[in-house]
Structure 1
């Protein structure tokens, strides 16, 4: 696999909600670099080695209040469309368009000349590099993306909060999947008045960090049929 393909296989996706006093964003994650380095069998794969339980932080009553506001906002939106700018660990900037329909569906199409496409649907994430004619398939539950495309998003169930900060008008939350913290961590940063997504970053299984900014966000949009059709996958 070329360095470009390996680099972009650690994609960071974003979901956002805009408009109104309660504007909020839905988030998104990156795919674990280690998992993306090869096509993952849909069944019959080897069992992962049990991960050591992550160490969470102690939350104050105020912290828990903010987490409740975040959860409520995340669960209030089912569809959105937005433009995005991505900055990878090597400082490379790319742009594109992202669509989300919760539960379980997302599409990220990068702007030319970047020949990349990522579609999440049917319990898996499919990454397509058209220039290399290469397709990678990753089970959605192995990515932070799976946490945010659920029917009901929760920051209490199945996840561990490893960081929380509220200062200067910003709220920052870092989470990992409790059962598999090695899949990567997701940090969300929000404005606190009104609650709205400012940025986020993902650290993948190899320690690579990707940062994403959303703009021109439209929530509650009707998404055309076929938007989340998965690219052809290897046999």
Structure 2
């Protein structure tokens, strides 16, 4: 196998996929109070984050580029909250999936399975249902008024890395912003860029999309 494939690093993806839901108990015979209307996003960063959260499902093609300029392609499948699948091009024996709680990388060539809690990876800012992305997002000025760039980094956990999201205004996308690309920089200063194309929103996703075949030898008792 070539050096590019053997040295591939965990890619990072985009999407604040989950919102918290609270419920209250209404006393018997009491008339329920009308639910308050949600506040409209007040800033460009808020609007971009709201657009990410508006995505229910998405499928897209991607190009992954590492710090040395080496490229791999594939298909990404996303379903909120927190589920994602990176299916690489034929010939690359790697698969990366998140089942909503943990991120798993499967290397079929060496029959190795590695798992990380979502919150401990650069993808945590987008996939962890408990992460409040808005607290750590910083708007980065761009030369194009239709392009929004956000740097997301938890100052309390620099070891989680930095995620830079690029959103492009598109009335046809959820919330009016299309997820275009993102760049991750991990604690070892390893840079990985993901660029999307052919984004399809609201597509049906098979239930087994976030499962994988375990390549490790099964121990029989």
Same fold (TM over 0.5): yes
Match of 1:180 in 2: 157
Q: Residue 206 and residue 6 in structure 1: after superposition, are their counterparts in 2 closer, same or farther (change >3 A)?
A: farther
Q: CA deviation at 1:122?
A: 4.6
Structure 2 gap ranges (5+): 18-41, 172-176
Match of 2:203 in 1: 221
Match of 2:144 in 1: 168
Match of 2:112 in 1: 134
For residues 184 and 231 of structure 1, the distance between their equivalents in structure 2, rounded to whole angstroms, comes to 29
Match of 1:111 in 2: 89
**CA deviation map 1:154-187 (0-9, x unaligned):** 4334xx2356213323221111124312211001
**Counterparts of residues 7-156 of structure 1 (less than 5 Å):** 7-14=7-14, 26=15, 65-151=43-129, 154-156=132-134
For residues 111 and 88 of structure 1, the distance between their equivalents in structure 2, rounded to whole angstroms, comes to 16
SS at match of 2:49: helix
**CA deviation map 1:116-158 (0-9, x unaligned):** 100111511110111122221111110132221244774334x
For residues 165 and 123 of structure 1, the distance between their equivalents in structure 2, rounded to whole angstroms, comes to 33
Q: Residue 162 and residue 76 in structure 1: after superposition, are their counterparts in 2 closer, same or farther (change >3 A)?
A: closer
Match of 2:183 in 1: 201
Q: CA deviation at 1:13?
A: 3.1
Q: Residue 27 and residue 96 in structure 1: after superposition, are their counterparts in 2 closer, same or farther (change >3 A)?
A: farther
Which structure's CA Rg is the greater one?
A: 2
Superposed CA RMSD in Å reads 2.8
Q: CA deviation at 1:192?
A: 4.2
SS at match of 1:186: strand
Structure 1 gap ranges (5+): 15-25, 29-63
Q: Using CA pairs under 8 Å that are at least 6 residues apart, name the structure with larger relative contact order, 1 or 2.
A: 1
For residues 197 and 105 of structure 1, the distance between their equivalents in structure 2, rounded to whole angstroms, comes to 16
**Equivalences, count:** 187
C-alpha contact 1:13 1:108 (8 A) present in aligned 2: no
For residues 110 and 134 of structure 2, the distance between their equivalents in structure 1, rounded to whole angstroms, comes to 40
C-alpha contact 1:84 1:212 (8 A) present in aligned 2: yes
Match of 1:47 in 2: none
Q: Which sits farther off after the overlay, 186-195 or 205-214?
A: 186-195
